[in-house]
Chain A
Amino acid sequence: MFVTKCDRLINLKGDWKNMRESIQRFGGAAAGMVIPNIGAFIAWGLITALFIDTGWAPNENLSEMVGPMIVYLLPILIGYTGGKMVHGHRGGVIGAVVTTAIAVGASDPQFFGAMVFGPLSAWTAKKVDAVLQPASPEGFEMLIDNFSLGILATVLAIVAKQIIGPIMQGVLDVLGGISEGIVDAGLLPLVDLPIEVAKVLFLNNAINHGLFGPLGVAEAAETGQSVWFMLESSPGPGLGMLIAYWVAGSGMWKQSAPGTIIIHFFGGIHEVYFPYILGHPIMILAMWAGGMSQALWFQITDAGLVAAASPGSILAYLPLIPRGGAVGVLGGIAIGAIVSAVVGVIVLRARPVKETDAGVEDTITVDNVPGV
């Protein structure tokens, strides 16, 4: 009986691992479509922050670029990249065509549409190519390649414009309504609870680029800023937790903390702090305390960034703070860091990391727990 119970527990853990890896995979795909294009996002973010009415140097002429870039350029880049991941350059081309059609068929920026239908239309092209290419008579390859892709793209574009665009707009309206409802109801601090856990399980890209990014862009296109850009990517709580290790930690945790702080806070590579939580899971309390206080401050001050900060470095944040928004953004990061540091120190004093001579080898991580 005991054995079956153990087996079931192990199976459950196995299911959880599979689920985590599936979400990671989805996140990896989303991140793979977004991250290579971050340069364009930053250009759009800077143009927006500078030239819109409420920007640092309002300029009606130059701000004409803001709309087309967010509605067409960025989704098309994502759709192209997503298509390319599935079926090389041909996949990218058809992904770009179909994403354009979705963007025309909807009114808000179609990031979700691009992430789903860019790869999907490329997959369709791949299937068609698999049939047509071997059957092409000698000398007609180019003609068939070009026209098969062109005709398929035309058909898919019509479907995308007439059907998928409006449906994706509906999906976005619902998600936008939910996210607005969360903000209006004052529930942002609660959203932080799952975020902190998911982050250290390497679901950070799935959350930030797969979910919060598209939500934030839809909101920012309307209001000029969004808090969704900051919930996952803020470097504040991680900074505080690492400071706690520096102050109250011991051994190699303490020694490595300062270097990790620099990479996390200035380099924006949050992954470097995950082991400090995975190796001593109770430190998630510090992240929750910092993250929730920070979210509360963001909520009170109505803070937001004009575009996604990637990587989540303080240096990536600075140029994307809307005019008059510095207190909200930087105040939130500071509060997140301070609260997380204080709680972290208390936790480390009460429950120090059990250290062995071998350093981290005995620490428990998600993958070396027996049976996981």
Chain B
Amino acid sequence: MSKSSINASEVKKIILACEAGMGSSVMVKNSLIKKAKKAGLDVSIDHSPVNLIPQDADVVVAHAGLAGRAREVAVNSVVISFNMFMNDPAISKLITDLSEGNEIKSS
């Protein structure tokens, strides 16, 4: 199972996961990159199919419908689930937590 929390300062790599790793994850990734850039964050953000999430990912972001599988695969990561593909509060919270240096909790 995945980790329950991680400190913002340790987050170097964020992975957006969707089933095929080519559709919705790429879209959410691009919006996250924009937000991270705006907040001046220095993290690498990439996308991946849910069954091939890289093991060195610190935080994995996946839709609630796929988060269960993400948690099984991403044993070294904190998994954050979201419901809406645009303007989801969980994703805004991730950016806020990262820029304020908070603890990032699995959700």
* Docked complex Cα distance between A311 and B26 (Å): 13
User: Are A31 and B20 interface neighbours, CB within 8 A?
Assistant: yes
User: Are A311 and B23 interface neighbours, CB within 8 A?
Assistant: yes
User: Are A35 and B22 interface neighbours, CB within 8 A?
Assistant: yes
User: Are A367 and B64 interface neighbours, CB within 8 A?
Assistant: yes
With A24-B19, A35-B22 given, is the CB distance from A260 to B86 under 8 Å?
Answer: yes
User: Are B23 and A256 interface neighbours, CB within 8 A?
Assistant: no
B65 at the interface (CB under 8 A from A): yes
- CB neighbours of B27 from chain A (8 A): 263, 267, 269, 272
Interface string of A210-224 (1 = CB under 8 A from B): 000000000000000
The chain B residue with its CB closest to the CB of A366 is: B65
Chain B 54-98 residues near chain A, CB threshold 8 A: 63-69, 81, 83-89
Query: Which of B20, B65, B83, B89 is in CB contact (< 8 Å) with A32?
Result: B20
How many inter-chain residue pairs (CB < 8 Å) link A and B? 85
Interface residues on B, range: 20 to 34
Which of A17, A205, A272, A363 neighbours the largest number of chain B CB atoms within 10 Å of its CB?
Answer: A272
* Docked complex Cα distance between A21 and B85 (Å): 20
The chain B residue with its CB closest to the CB of A274 is: B65
A271 at the interface (CB under 8 A from B): yes
A359 at the interface (CB under 8 A from B): yes
Q: A110 to nearest B CB, angstroms?
A: 22
User: Are B85 and A263 interface neighbours, CB within 8 A?
Assistant: yes
User: Are A28 and B20 interface neighbours, CB within 8 A?
Assistant: yes
B24 at the interface (CB under 8 A from A): yes
User: Are B88 and A24 interface neighbours, CB within 8 A?
Assistant: no
A279 at the interface (CB under 8 A from B): yes
Interface size on A, residues (CB 8 A): 38
Q: A241 to nearest B CB, angstroms?
A: 15
Q: A15 to nearest B CB, angstroms?
A: 14
* Docked complex Cα distance between A31 and B18 (Å): 11
A159 at the interface (CB under 8 A from B): no
User: Are A365 and B89 interface neighbours, CB within 8 A?
Assistant: no
With A28-B49, A269-B27 given, is the CB distance from A278 to B86 under 8 Å?
Answer: no
User: Are A271 and B85 interface neighbours, CB within 8 A?
Assistant: yes
* Docked complex Cα distance between A252 and B66 (Å): 23
B50 at the interface (CB under 8 A from A): yes
* Docked complex Cα distance between A339 and B63 (Å): 28
A105 at the interface (CB under 8 A from B): no
| Cross-chain pairs A/B with CB under 8 angstroms, 17 sampled | A25-B69, A31-B19, A32-B20, A35-B20, A201-B65, A202-B19, A202-B65, A256-B86, A260-B86, A263-B86, A269-B23, A272-B27, A272-B86, A275-B84, A278-B65, A311-B23, A367-B67
* A interface residues (Cβ-Cβ under 8 A, vs B): 17, 21, 24-25, 27-29, 31-32, 35-36, 201-202, 205, 252, 256, 259-260, 263, 267-269, 271-272, 274-275, 278-279, 311, 358-361, 363, 365-368
User: What 19 additional pairs, Cβ within 8 angstroms, besides A25-B69, A205-B19?
Assistant: A17-B68, A24-B19, A24-B69, A25-B51, A27-B19, A201-B65, A252-B87, A271-B63, A272-B27, A272-B85, A275-B84, A278-B64, A279-B83, A360-B88, A365-B65, A365-B83, A366-B64, A366-B65, A367-B81
